[in-house]
Structure 1
Amino acid sequence: MLTTSTTEVWEPYAEPIAGPVQLIDCGGLTFRATAEDSTARLVGEGIIELVLTSADGPVRAEWRLPCVDVTALWTPDTMAGKGIPAAWSAPKEVSLSRGAPIASLVGTGDVGRCTFAAAEVDVLAAGGVFEETGEFRFWVQAQGRLTLRVDVSGRHFARCLADLTAWWLADRGIGSVDIPATARKPAYSTWYSMHQAVTPEAVEEQARLGKELGLDLIIVDDGWMTPDRGRGYGHTGDWEPLSLPDTAAHVARVHDLGVEYMLWYAIPFIGKESTVWERFQPYALSRAESLDAMIVDPRCPAVRAYLADLLCRAVEEWGMDGLKIDFLDWFAREEAPPAGPEADCATVSEGVDKLLGEIRTRITAVRPTALVEFRQPYVSPGLWPHATMLRATDCPLSGLDNRQRTTDVRLAAGPIPVHADMLMWHPEEPAEQVACHLINVLFAVPQISVDLATLTPQQHQSLVFWLGIFRRYEQTLQQGAFEPARPDLGYPLIRAHDARVQIVARHAALPVSAAGAWDELLVANADTDPWVRLTDGSGSATVLVRDARGRSVWAGSIDLGVPGGAVFEVPRGGLAELSRDAVGRGFRRN
């Protein structure tokens, strides 16, 4: 049972706000509410709903709990780390285009000590250890209204987060989100493999080779709109397909291969080299001098109309299947200046929402299964109606970062498929390491970004094998119950399961629980230690062990109930397939 300290020290290390102050006891916590009106009620076992309102001005909720047996503070901001901050740490500004209003204080055994989410998109939030008492203090602030769910049920932190993202859906009256099938399929991206050296011939060749591997989507990134290869953003803003002449015919040729096509846009930028640089000077929200560009103000109808027309052209005129919309977070990089006389939105978030809503409406009118990709850190639930996929932010060749980022996004993404940052590797990369790159993002959608024409036979075999696993077990991997372990250690063990299949990715020499009523249990080993120990099991199972290239290296039967656990060898980058059914379900071939 959680209890609160009797101390009356409530200093939140934040600027004070005006308004009546009320202390509210609910569910074993005491909340300090600064608002004209505030209520709290239990909406489930260990789940508290707090509502604060004020006719004019900000409202704030503060609460604290003993910081006992705590291991991590989880937030969707991977860059912030998972350590325990101090109460005087700077608060985080969360908005429609940056972050998500959700966090979890995690305890030993991955228990959610205190997990919360706000219904509002734009909030100011902080949490940290109050040194004087050893308590952990949270505070959240919003303008006019704040609705919080606080979960102290003591369940696995991922379960608490999943319930809060489901609450977001229900609170917004969304019910469900329609996701096109292609959004969950492995894809090819041109970014790391081509950077800005995009040509129709190169794109079509990678689309052809990717289709043979099971990549049904190609995403063409930066470079298509300029012959400049300097990797700056001075040439953004006109969005003419200068590197993809006869664009509609080019897209049709990719479609003839059976591959869908998405096109990248850095949506907020107008570059100095564009023809509209002077025209949009009055609409500058801020300047990005280092990028040779300005960020335009989405509060202005003229800005939204211009950007929507350009982005929608890709689908409406060229036949694209969707848009990769990048740099949304730059709309919220700096405090916005007062809205100009042409603005029709009170906030930047409102302008971004209107812009994205218009784009989504127009492209789905032409193509109902149109795809839209956003990227970490813009993972707000307020963006869910506009997105079909969320991608981890860039981390080239870093399997650890890709694992952490896809996991963090997945925990906050609700129904939206999560894509890994593009996978690349050195031409001499061994097949085992290629497999480990894929295992690191096993519970996300992989995007491949290497020259497929230069793959070694071993790399090719590994890619074929693991992409087959992604596709065959898509339902369990992406939509099963998701249980990552030890956020404080970078998620060394991750599990997903449904009614009959359990899949575990092992990134350290840790035992794997075989508990539960599964029919199939898959264990992917990305650690150098090949000895996998299964604990908590009962009965027997047939086992097929494959190496990183999908080749069978051992098959047999094991006793899951042996004292100390069943132990067998799975090579690095390999996969063990266990089945309780001896009639071959664990022995399926690719």
Structure 2
Amino acid sequence: MTTLSHEAVTTAELAPATYRPLLDTVEVAVLAAGSETDWHLTETPDGPRILHVDASGAPVEIRLSLPLGDAAGYWHPKAGWKRTIVADWEGRDEVSLVDGLAAGCLYDYGGATLLTFGVADPVPEVSLRYGVSEENDTYVVHLHLPAAQRPHRLVLVPRSPSVGAAVGTLRAWYAAETAPMHVPETARVPLYCTWYAYNQQIDADAVETQSRLAAGIGFGALIVDDGWQRHARGRGYAGVGDWIPDSEKFPDFTSHVLRVRKTGLRYMLWVAPLLLGPAADCHERWAACAPALAKVPGAHVLDPRLPEVRAHVVDTCVRLVRDHGLDGLKIDFLEQAMVYAGDGQGDVGQALTTLLHELRGALVHVRSDVLIELRQPYVGPGMVPFGNMLRSFDCPADSAANRVRTIDTALLAVGGAVHSDPLLWSARAPVESAARQLIGAFHSVPQVSVRLDTLPEEHIQALRFWLATWRNLRPQLLDGTVEPGRPDDLYTLVSATGEGTQVLTVHVDRPVPVDPATLDTTVLVNATTRPRLVLDVATPGSAVEIEAYAPDGRMIDRRRVELPAGLQNLPVPRMGLATIKSIA
């Protein structure tokens, strides 16, 4: 196989290969065992094309190349904040089942796509190189796929009008190939989390106080995060591994769980079953199975390729759910197993697939509607059989990051309910700050982590209003047709449509295209810094009823008007909301 040389600064310095037309303006070269190999392209009834490569069990390199055109950005599941185009000497990545997905989308300044692809098998470790080839004035993507018993497949989507449309086609293909885990109703309701509110300084009284308040405000579930277990003191993970409740904080953990559940909340518990800290009582027993340091401070990582480790993880998680009457688990830091990737001792993704199959089966046997939360970067198509809550990565008090990360997750969420990172704000801040956090998570299931008993009444009213509004709009926000716009614009105008209602969340001062004549209801969320929105009305003479609400839910305006076509100013409070209802 042609391998990526450490001396090859750019892709132009690699061994040459013969490119052939593939799809639209994309060309492809396929190499295996050091030479070019045959491939063929097939069509599917719903739009994608499948590149088939039979390398007779050898590793494969697939090189994609296309003219730069008017390329503006490149989105992939691990893009983070780097979503404009980069040079091919910079764009490199390693992915696996629990660390992203070998998929990407190149798009132009008009938002239309130039290339959209994804590997059919999300499990194995894949190396990627991508970016602008300065020598050739092209954009390139190189994928290095490991040896496989079956032919390699790469899914390609023809040019589409937007990234949302193209990745939606890719998502639909994965959905047809995947059996996602059952998603209970509880996975789709607002959730209270203890992490930012308390960090590790939690106890039974504090959790039960917040639970009673949360149940009355509109939450349906609770996650008790890090801090419940023995040796949980301060930041870091030097004490993890035993997964036994701290008897000082929780004198009778099982009875505590029952009291919380009686408030109406479902109870979930945080666990990081692959981490092992030196202060854990079980450290000596398991140290030989965890030779590598984790990338989080203070702990090693159990190697999931070992059968005894997989059995230990399953037993630990089942014990917690069964013995304490839990509704589910937040399973954290699975991506830390990637420290073992590429060491020649076996594929980490394959081992984790085996582990997670065993874990899901054992947990479902204990509780058929068990809740399992997974977190970026391991929420891709390969993981949805093993979890039904897909959470964005940590971004405390960062509403913009929550918006971007939840939408990034949702683009390829073929199952499960996408959740925000827990929302955090200061009780001393104005009510607009609280509303801003809630709006940032609007297109996902909101999680919240503030001390509810310290919030001023205005914040409580805002929280109650936005959670109720979110529940009413859930069919559009979670299940509707979503168009978020260009990824490098950071999704500043997001549309979600379904059942005759369109929800438009506006984060920058810009004209907002609306056509109330074609809808029953248009909901406008004003997350800008201005106390109004500029509407670009498509159909003239639309008779409508308009209601406007303050951030805390107070109605401040109601009127009936005819909207002329073109640009119109609509007064809407900052961090407030307006509804436009058509009048027959």
TM-score normalised by length of structure 1: 0.91
Q: Distance in 2 between matches of 1:554 and 1:310?
A: 55
- Check if 1:160 corresponds to 2:161: no
How far is the alpha carbon of 1:474 from its aligned partner? Answer: 1.0
Q: Distance in 2 between matches of 1:29 and 1:41?
A: 15
Number of the residue aligned with 2:211 = 207
Q: 1:576 aligns with which of 572, 575, 578?
A: 578
Q: Is the 8 A contact 1:27 1:48 kept in 2?
A: no
Q: Is the 8 A contact 1:22 1:34 kept in 2?
A: no
SS in 2 for 1:272: coil
**Structure 1 residues 256-271: aligned runs within 5 Å:** 256-271=262-277
Q: Distance in 2 between matches of 1:155 and 1:290?
A: 41
**Structure 1 residues 350-389: aligned runs within 5 Å:** 350-389=350-389
SS in 1 for 2:57: strand
Q: Which amino acid aligns with 1:371?
A: L
- After TM superposition, the structure 1 stretch with the greater mean CA deviation from structure 2, 13-22 or 42-51, is 13-22
- After TM superposition, the structure 1 stretch with the greater mean CA deviation from structure 2, 447-456 or 272-281, is 272-281
- Check if 1:180 corresponds to 2:184: yes
Residue 18 to residue 485, structure 1, CA distance change in 2 (3 Å): closer
Q: Is the 8 A contact 2:500 2:519 kept in 1?
A: yes
How far is the alpha carbon of 1:296 from its aligned partner? Answer: 0.8
Q: Distance in 1 between matches of 2:26 and 2:174?
A: 22
SS in 2 for 1:85: coil
TM-score normalised by length of structure 2: 0.92
Q: Is the 8 A contact 1:236 1:269 kept in 2?
A: yes
How far is the alpha carbon of 1:12 from its aligned partner? Answer: 9.6
Q: Which amino acid aligns with 2:480?
A: G
Number of the residue aligned with 2:337 = 331
Residue 513 to residue 461, structure 1, CA distance change in 2 (3 Å): same
How far is the alpha carbon of 1:410 from its aligned partner? Answer: 1.1
SS in 2 for 1:479: coil
Q: Distance in 2 between matches of 1:124 and 1:41?
A: 24
Work out the number of aligned pairs and report it: 563
SS in 1 for 2:54: strand
Number of the residue aligned with 1:441 = 441
Residue 164 to residue 216, structure 1, CA distance change in 2 (3 Å): same
Number of the residue aligned with 1:32 = 29
SS in 2 for 1:84: coil
Q: Distance in 2 between matches of 1:75 and 1:514?
A: 30
Number of the residue aligned with 1:588 = none
Q: Is the 8 A contact 2:341 2:347 kept in 1?
A: no
What are the ranges of 5 or more consecutive residues in structure 2 without an aligned counterpart?
1-7
Number of the residue aligned with 2:5 = none
Number of the residue aligned with 1:399 = 399
Q: Distance in 2 between matches of 1:501 and 1:405?
A: 24
Q: Deviations for 1:111-149, whole angstroms, at most 9, x for unmatched residues?
A: 122111111223222321111232211222211343112
Q: Which amino acid aligns with 1:32?
A: A
Q: Is the 8 A contact 1:26 1:42 kept in 2?
A: no
Q: Is the 8 A contact 1:395 1:421 kept in 2?
A: yes
SS in 2 for 1:244: coil
How far is the alpha carbon of 1:20 from its aligned partner? Answer: 9.3
Residue 38 to residue 206, structure 1, CA distance change in 2 (3 Å): same
Number of the residue aligned with 2:51 = 50
Q: Which amino acid aligns with 1:554?
A: D
Residue 337 to residue 16, structure 1, CA distance change in 2 (3 Å): farther
How far is the alpha carbon of 1:558 from its aligned partner? Answer: 3.2
Number of the residue aligned with 2:250 = 244
Q: Distance in 2 between matches of 1:290 and 1:420?
A: 22
Q: 2:127 aligns with which of 102, 109, 124?
A: 124
How far is the alpha carbon of 1:80 from its aligned partner? Answer: 4.8
- Check if 1:221 corresponds to 2:225: yes
SS in 1 for 2:145: strand
Number of the residue aligned with 1:143 = 146
Q: Distance in 1 between matches of 2:119 and 2:81?
A: 19
SS in 2 for 1:166: helix
Residue 490 to residue 25, structure 1, CA distance change in 2 (3 Å): closer
Q: Distance in 2 between matches of 1:197 and 1:179?
A: 31
Q: Which amino acid aligns with 1:439?
A: I
Q: Deviations for 1:38-62, whole angstroms, at most 9, x for unmatched residues?
A: 1123436974321112223311221
Residue 80 to residue 333, structure 1, CA distance change in 2 (3 Å): farther
SS in 2 for 1:163: helix
Q: Deviations for 1:446-500, whole angstroms, at most 9, x for unmatched residues?
A: 1110100011011111101000111111111011111112321211111111131
- Check if 1:422 corresponds to 2:422: yes
Q: Is the 8 A contact 1:379 1:409 kept in 2?
A: yes
- After TM superposition, the structure 1 stretch with the greater mean CA deviation from structure 2, 263-272 or 54-63, is 54-63
Residue 203 to residue 258, structure 1, CA distance change in 2 (3 Å): same
How far is the alpha carbon of 1:327 from its aligned partner? Answer: 0.5
Number of the residue aligned with 2:545 = 542
Residue 190 to residue 15, structure 1, CA distance change in 2 (3 Å): farther
How far is the alpha carbon of 1:291 from its aligned partner? Answer: 2.3
Residue 331 to residue 284, structure 1, CA distance change in 2 (3 Å): same
Number of the residue aligned with 2:503 = 503
Residue 46 to residue 320, structure 1, CA distance change in 2 (3 Å): closer
- Check if 1:558 corresponds to 2:558: no
SS in 2 for 1:324: strand
**Structure 1 residues 335-354: aligned runs within 5 Å:** 335-339=341-345, 346-354=346-354
SS in 2 for 1:387: coil
Residue 290 to residue 46, structure 1, CA distance change in 2 (3 Å): closer
Number of the residue aligned with 2:486 = 486
